[in-house]
Structure 1
Amino acid sequence: MAVAYEQYLVPVVFRPFAENLAAKAAALRPGRVLELAAGTGALTSKLLAAAPSAEVTATDLNEAMVAFGAARVPAAVWRQADAQRLPFADGAFDLVVCQFGVMFFADRVAAFAEVRRVLGAGGRFLFNTWGPLDTHGFEVALQAGLERAFPVDPPRFLATGPHGYADPAVVVADLTAAGFSVEEEQKLTLEGRAPSVADLATGYLTGTPVRAAVGERGDGPEVRAAVVEEMTARLGPGPGTAPMMAYVFCAAA
């Protein structure tokens, strides 16, 4: 999954937002940075380039992702960690960042409280979360492909997972409940560019939890063919472009 995610999805879907988040992080002039849900290091590498004097510790719950990320971005310190039980001392960092990970935290208020605990006085929590599914052109096409392949019981992971934390008022309320003061809330739309729509479909079907949802329903070559055909009908064979909307938050401890 890590290889497919890095090869097919990171350049198209995640790198544009990583560049934006890294630039915002660098403007805060951090010394000690903790990254949560770092995955394969899409944001990690951009952080190190944008803020070369910062000490970056990258974490992920998935040990395979940590191993892959450590090999890909060795300049960061990598550790396996649960965001709800961070293995770091109080006040150990002055910036915590997270790219498209907070929506997967089982208890977001508890995780945010842990983030606040490991931040020093005046520290910042900078992160992004996807907007509603219908604001992400690539994933609208993917969902249509899944519904074509499984007309009776299509996977709903996209709506409930990546796009399941898309109300900024709820995010702000959770941050406030954890003791944060929200300094910035930005609605950001960037354009993704996929050289090959078929490869993008492969990335989603093999490099994300969509893989498990499809497998539960009977994976096979006909599923990929149906998804690719529907995505191609909507986006073209490639290069294909689509808008992607997210919310970016910066909160102070």
Structure 2
Amino acid sequence: MATEDALFAGSIPELYERFLLPLIFDPYAEDLIRRIVQRTPASVLEVAAGTGAVTRKMMLRLPTDTHIMATDLNQGMIDQARRQCKAANIEWRQADAMKLPFPDASFDLVVCQFGAMFFPDKARAFGEAHRVLRPRGAFLFNVWDTLERNEFARTVHDTVAARFPHDPPRFLARTPYGYNDLATIRRDLAEGGFTSIDHAVVSSRSHAPSARIPATAFCQATPLRAEIEARGNLDETTGAVECALERRFGNGIIEGQIQAIVFSCVA
């Protein structure tokens, strides 16, 4: 499922930008930009930039002469991000994190927001990040903690699984919320060449004007969509998830816990 899990195409980039970024990504983009600014990099490579949650903050918070190379595996995500991030110091390029098209020691900093979980070979991708960093350069990235610590996502996962009990979709548990074991991540980073590794658990709260927002975000703006469509009706399943979220979190404005793990590594 590795290829399908990393496929963000069709209408997904636009829905991802509209629903998922404000729901769960923005608080962690703010966390990452604080860490980035502290390091005053002259050149940054962003891997798995998505629709540009972190890119936009770098555009606004880093000096205008900072070179930012923003990449993603999916051209559709790059196209969506480019429409939101127009600055002379930002370059956009389609690139595979496991085979980066850049020379050794090209960047002061590599950053990746919620992308590492999608790499089929994590150690290889981390090795590529290490390779393109200059000596003492930094690699900053985050991953989602478990489903149990991300309440909206857990409710979505459980509801969708219950609708298709004989063949439950596993995308959320398998990929975005499936790479958070500290020993495993540290081992993969060490295999990639990193020896200086720190991490921090960062908790926040996700807010939505209604249960329809997270239902649409997870069911229609991620590759979970393809798993649902292969088994049943997308709109009906989204509606069922909306009802489940309302039962747990209430009507009107809702909120739930979100939690991630942030890694800071030095080459």
Match of 1:31 among 22, 42, 49: 42
TM-score (ref. length: structure 1):
0.96
Alignment of 1:1-253 (within 5 A): 1-53=12-64, 54-75=66-87, 76-253=90-267
Q: Unpaired runs of 5+ in structure 2?
A: 1-11
- Please tell me the residue identity of whatever aligns with 1:64: G
TM superposition shift of 1:152:
3.0
TM superposition shift of 1:246:
0.7
TM superposition shift of 1:220:
4.1
Aligned length: 253
| C-alpha contact 2:215 2:239 (8 A) present in aligned 1 | no
Question: How far, CA to CA, are the matches of 1:181 and 1:73 in structure 2?
Answer: 34
| C-alpha contact 1:196 1:239 (8 A) present in aligned 2 | yes
- Please tell me the residue identity of whatever aligns with 2:33: A
TM superposition shift of 1:78:
0.6
Cα distance 1:209–1:29, how it changes in 2: closer, same or farther (>3 A)? Answer: same
Residue 211 of structure 1: SS of its match in structure 2? helix
TM superposition shift of 1:89:
1.1
| C-alpha contact 1:126 1:250 (8 A) present in aligned 2 | yes
| C-alpha contact 2:211 2:243 (8 A) present in aligned 1 | no
Q: Which runs of 4+ in 1 moved over 6 A?
A: none
Q: Deviations over 1:15-73 (max 9, x none)?
A: 00000011111111111000000010011111222223422110000011111111111
Q: Tell me the percent identity.
A: 42
TM superposition shift of 1:144:
2.4
TM superposition shift of 1:243:
1.0
Partner of 2:9: none
- Please tell me the residue identity of whatever aligns with 2:190: T
Question: How far, CA to CA, are the matches of 1:220 and 1:29 in structure 2?
Answer: 45
Residue 129 of structure 1: SS of its match in structure 2? strand
Question: How far, CA to CA, are the matches of 1:138 and 1:96 in structure 2?
Answer: 29
Question: How far, CA to CA, are the matches of 1:199 and 1:238 in structure 2?
Answer: 11
TM-score (ref. length: structure 2):
0.91
RMSD across aligned C-alpha pairs, in angstroms?
A: 1.2
- Please tell me the residue identity of whatever aligns with 1:99: Q
